Amino acid sequence: MTDNNNSMEMMEEDQVDPLLRQLLLLKRYETPVASRITKNKQNIMRKVREISHRKHWNLGDLLEMNIPWFFAEPRYGIAALFIVFGGLQFLGISSQKHATGKTGIYTSDNSIAAYDSSGGITATNSISYPQLPNNLELFALPSGGDGSIIPAGRLEER
């Protein structure tokens, strides 16, 4: 059926008056003035340069130009996003572990942390606390054998 239609159309096309075809071909001899065409091209090129200078490519355009496959095949783009996201997550976890192990200021018993002008943090010796006797008591034990505690108001009554 389609073939029949095509062949009919071909026949119809062949039936075009040859005079009309020749007349239409004569229009090809209509030629613009060369100077006007040159000026027109110059106008186009000037306009293009104006746009080029003015135009700040937006992020979408830049991405589209540099990674066209991302936009041409959205499924690959989404997959790539997942991979990047997963990678960042992994890096984040890894660096967190690393930080726990390395950072922090440690000093020996006799040292305190001090800032070193060279940029690092170093431990320096400082005054250490005096050694205290093992039997040191900050408060004396109650004496007099009376272990009862008298309320404050009754002291005056006595």
Residues contributing to the site for another protein (CB under 8 A): 2, 5-6, 9-10, 12-13, 16-17, 19-33, 36-37, 40-41, 43-45, 47-49, 51-52, 57, 61, 64-65, 68, 72
Between 57 and 115, whose beta carbon lies closer to another protein?
A: 57
What is the nearest approach in angstroms of another protein to the Cβ of residue 28?
Answer: 5
User: For residues 61 and 54, what is the distance between their CA atoms, to the nearest angstrom?
Assistant: 15
Instruction: Answer yes or no: are the C-beta atoms of 72 and 63 closer than 8 Å.
Output: no
What's the closest the beta carbon of residue 101 comes to another protein, in angstroms? Answer: 46
Grouping H, G, I as helix, E, B as strand and the rest as coil, residue 104 is coil
In the block, tokens 């997959």 appear at 79
Nearer to another protein, 31 or 118 (CB): 31
What three-state secondary structure class fits 117?
A: coil
* Stretch (H or E) spanning 113: strand 111-115
Of the two residues 37 and 78, which places its CB atom closer to another protein in the complex?
Answer: 37
Looking at the Cβ atoms of 48 and 112, the one nearer to another protein is 48
How near is the Cβ of 113 to another protein at its closest, in Å?
A: 54
Distance of CA 31 to the CA centre of its chain: 56
Compute CA distances 96 → 85, 90, 91, 106, 120, whole Å: 17, 10, 9, 19, 21
Minimum Å gap between C-beta 51 and another protein is: 6
* Residue with Cβ nearer another protein (60 or 144): 60
In angstroms, what is the minimal distance from the CB of 79 to another protein? 20
Element (H, E) at 90: helix 74-102
